[in-house]
Chains A and B, each alone.
Chain A
Amino acid sequence: MIETEHLGKRYSRIDAVADLSLKVAPGQVLALLGPNGAGKTTTMRMIAGFLMPGSGRARVCGHDVVAEPLAARRALGYLPEGAPSYGELSVAEFLAFAARVRGLTGVSGRRGLDETIERLQLQPVLAQGIETLSKGYRRRVCLAQALLHDPPALILDEPTDGLDPNQQREVHALIRNMARDRAIIVSTHALGEVRAACNRVAILAQGRLRVEGTPAELERQSRFHHAVSFRAPASALACEMLGRLPEVDAVEVDPVDGRVTVFPRDGQEIFHAVVKLLDEQRVRVDELQLERGRLEDVFRRVTGDADVARAA
């Protein structure tokens, strides 16, 4: 369980994080989204104990990060931004260091170390110096450090940054596997990651929580929710008629690929009406699709408001 209550941090006159209350229970993977400078890293640093909270509280598995810092840190696995590690050490030496600091010695410690190495497929590079490794391997080495002690809570700051698509998929699978009995917070800029690995989303902007919910709930807030899109050459007349349907809000044509999107008024179901009309007009349609809603759209709207507010 990871909890924050009215967590805040002020730098000179700017609120890096303000009044942030989150609760992540075991089994939940929370995606922390937001533009650069929204306060994601500051939030994670406060929970991990690298920064003192300016106001409010943060708890990891019931341990207050200020009152019981060591207990809180023992319960947490943390991948800092940029996945730092000691470049002059080999992978094996670095992991042995992390294990020793965490008190993981003896048979059980050795087993935890071996399991983590196996899980992240680090065997081929164990003896190699970390600074000679590729960016993807370096990130996995630092991720290994966070998983060594099998923590009940995990905070991962951009775990897939710099990984190729195959490695990203592996990390997503890893996160899903670990989620069963752990509380996990993941920050990311890749919105595709949310569907792949997370079951909750929180979007921050200017240090404040703007939206929170399951990915499906957020997608429902998108104007693309229940929209219908298709590709059809020479369908200008049909589009005009679609726009006149009472349940249709707007019809947009993508200038690049010519894809037509029909937006519903107030999230109404319009799929059948659209299909019927296209059929009546004998429009040849390709790639007809009912849209679920787009996180990108919600993200842009929620964080775009912030920009407007800042300008005002």
Chain B
Amino acid sequence: MSSMTASATPDRRGSPFAGVFLRELHGYLITPVAWLFSVIFLLSAGAFTFYLGAFFERGQADLDPFFRFHPWLYLVLVPALAMRLWAEERRSGTLELLMTLPIRAWQAVLAKFLAAWLYIGGALALTFPMWLTVNYLGQPDNGVILAGYLGSFLMAGAFLAISECLSVLTRSQVIAFILALAVCFLFLLAGDPLVQQPLLALGSERVADALSGLSLLAHFQAIARGVLDLGDIAYFVLTIVFWLAANTLVLAARRGG
């Protein structure tokens, strides 16, 4: 409706979405937090695979020991990367600047999300020597490995969407981090006895059942096994969409408050 009345700006090739997306991406390349994320992710992905995962000792040409630890790495690293997304904008007052620019709330939410997701994707792509190694040592099923990468990337996106949404609730990055860690942990282990037992003890079998279907871990493992079920992929996509939508609503509601 408003694009009709936008005569104030003669040249409209730039876009609010691209502006925020590029600024965020640029931010990852110049801030130490993001580099720390990549380095720690790459180092610990390698260390876990070879030591805890017994990559060589197993004598199998696959990347199962590599992907197995991704949920746990993301659980800590993604909330750490995402905690500043909105909390920092709120603390420094730049949120007021951003939200009074001609950009829609959902565009800002999505631009921030995609920039961070792309950055994580870059870090994930840098683990390619692992793939080269296993291909050098044997004949792995590269389809399964590709599925593993896809599942890992989707899971990172789900954690990221959760963490970004929770970051908008506070101006403290520490609180944002802890909140995101707790909620991600809950979703990761939704099907695990750790979460299920207390619910069953409370007699809420339906809630427990519904929650177990939301388990990030189960869906990730299904994809990482090489079985590309549409349901699993839809689960991740819907999770991401849900949390981004919630993020947009919270942002809009803050205007009313």
Contacts and interface: CB of A to CB of B under 8 A. Distances in A.
Nearest to A107: B11
Contacts of B19: 97-98, 100-102
A88 B27 contact: yes
B6 to A, nearest CB: 6
B59 interface: no
B40 interface: no
Nearest to A87: B92
Given A88-B30, A100-B22, A50 B14 contact: no
Contacts of B103: 70, 101
Interface in B1-23: 1-3, 5-6, 8-16, 18-20, 22-23
Interface stretch (B46-54, B94-102, B162-170, B191-199): B94-102
A105 B104 CA distance: 19
A246 interface: no
A69 B2 contact: yes
A301 B103 CA distance: 42
A192 interface: no
A45 B97 CA distance: 10
Contacts of B1: 68
B11 A73 contact: no
Which 9 A-B pairs rank lowest in CB-CB distance, beginning with the nearest?
A84-B93, A101-B19, A100-B19, A105-B14, A71-B2, A70-B2, A80-B96, A103-B12, A100-B14
Interface of B: 1-3, 5-6, 8-16, 18-20, 22-23, 26-27, 30-31, 92-94, 96-97, 99-104, 255-256
B11 A71 contact: no
B96 A45 contact: yes
A166 interface: no
A174 interface: no
A106 B10 CA distance: 10
Interface in A135-150: 142, 145, 149-150
A74 B102 contact: yes
Interface string A111-144: 0000000000000000000000000000000100
B97 A145 contact: yes
A98 B103 CA distance: 11
A48 B22 CA distance: 24
B8 A151 contact: yes
B5 A68 contact: yes
25 contacts: A48-B96, A51-B255, A51-B256, A70-B6, A74-B2, A74-B5, A74-B6, A80-B97, A81-B96, A85-B97, A86-B27, A86-B94, A89-B27, A101-B15, A101-B20, A101-B102, A102-B16, A102-B19, A102-B102, A103-B14, A103-B15, A103-B102, A108-B11, A109-B11, A152-B8
A85 B23 CA distance: 12
Interface string A60-103: 01010000111101111010111011111100010001111111
Contacts, number: 124
Nearest to B111: A101
Contacts of A89: 23, 26-27
A108 B13 CA distance: 11
A208 to B, nearest CB: 22
A257 to B, nearest CB: 41
A82 B95 CA distance: 12
Contacts of A82: 93
Contacts of B102: 70, 73-74, 101-103
Looking at A87, A101, A151, which has the most chain B CB atoms within 10 Å of its CB? Answer: A101
Given A68-B1, A70-B104, A101-B19, A106 B11 contact: yes
A50 B9 contact: no
A85 B93 CA distance: 8
Contact of B5 (A71, A86, A101, A151): A71
A66 to B, nearest CB: 10
A52 B10 contact: no
A243 interface: no
Contact of B6 (A71, A80, A151): A71
B101 A73 contact: yes
Nearest to B23: A97
B111 to A, nearest CB: 10
Given A74-B102, A97-B23, A52 B13 contact: no
A104 interface: yes
A67 to B, nearest CB: 8
B100 A50 contact: yes
Give the most central of B16, B19, B27, B104: most A CB within 10 Å.
Answer: B19
Contact of B13 (A51, A106, A149): A106
A49 interface: yes
A80 B100 contact: yes
Contacts of A108: 10-11
Contact of B100 (A49, A86, A88, A109): A49
A302 B143 CA distance: 77
A93 B9 contact: no
Contacts of A81: 93, 96
Given A51-B255, A52-B255, A84-B92, A103 B100 contact: no
Contacts of A74: 2, 5-6, 8-9, 102
